[in-house]
Amino acid sequence: MNNSTLHARDLVIGYKSALTPALSFSVGPGEILVVVGESGCGKSTLLSTLAGVIPPLSGEILLGKTNLGGVPIHKRSIGLVFQDPLLFPHLSLIDNIGYSLRASGASKKSARLRATELLEWVGLSEIAGQKTWQLSGGQAGRVALARAIAAKPAVLLLDEPYSALDSATRLRLLADVKSLVTREGIPTIHVTHDHSEADLLATRTLTW
């Protein structure tokens, strides 16, 4: 499914008591769609629907020509980054990043090579063996991003991952996101309440 365009067609999400308007959009390889809206408007629900955690009320989600409606969560090849990095505290940086590769059957050698490459890219190769509980918020955010793209997911979903960080750190991490997504060619959706993030990051913006 890699290097395909993600399409949402007349997608209605939410719960029967709180429906959203129908959404239609496409995100191609290396593009970043930033969805901007206030808290509680359904941004996280959109990501959960795209990931397959909850079903849409109507409409379609396609990756290339594949309709994801019948595809289980673990086969959608979705990379997720949340506000809480959710790193494994007992594992080193390099093992955190290589975890999804090892879980999918990659050899230890190939997983470490890929993790090493990404650690160099996000500027953390010098502390590859350090445990994640020792990291600053900005460092943890970089590891979470690298881990999410390690297995070259078909789609990357970002749920306000850096909103709790200081402005300078957040700007550096957003630059990392843009650089890595462009380099890896991953269709990406980033949700935020901050219009300045959209200005910095977006190929295209959807205001909710």
Q: Report if residue 96 sits inside a domain.
A: yes
Report residue 139's pLDDT band, with 50, 70 and 90 as the boundaries: very high
CATH value at residue 159: 3.40.50.300
| Dihedral Cα 63, 68, 74, 79, nearest 10 deg | 40
| Within a domain: 76 | yes
Q: What is the pTM of this model?
A: 0.91
The alpha-carbon radius of gyration of the chain (Å, integer) is 17
In a domain, 167, yes or no: yes
Domain membership of residue 21 (yes or no) is yes
Which domain, by its residues, includes 68?
6-207
> What mean pLDDT do residues 34-46 have?
90
Q: Is residue 192 part of a domain?
A: yes
The DSSP symbol for 86 reads: -
Half-sphere exposure of 49 (CA within 13 A, CB side): 23
Predicted confidence (pLDDT) per residue in 164-178, tens digit: 888 888 888 898 889
Strand extents, DSSP E, 37-154: 58-63, 66-67, 78-81
What mean pLDDT value characterizes the chain?
A: 91
Number of domains the chain contains: 1
| Residue carrying structure tokens 């365009």 | 5
38 found inside a domain: yes
**1 lies in some domain:** no
**Within a domain: residue 109?**
yes
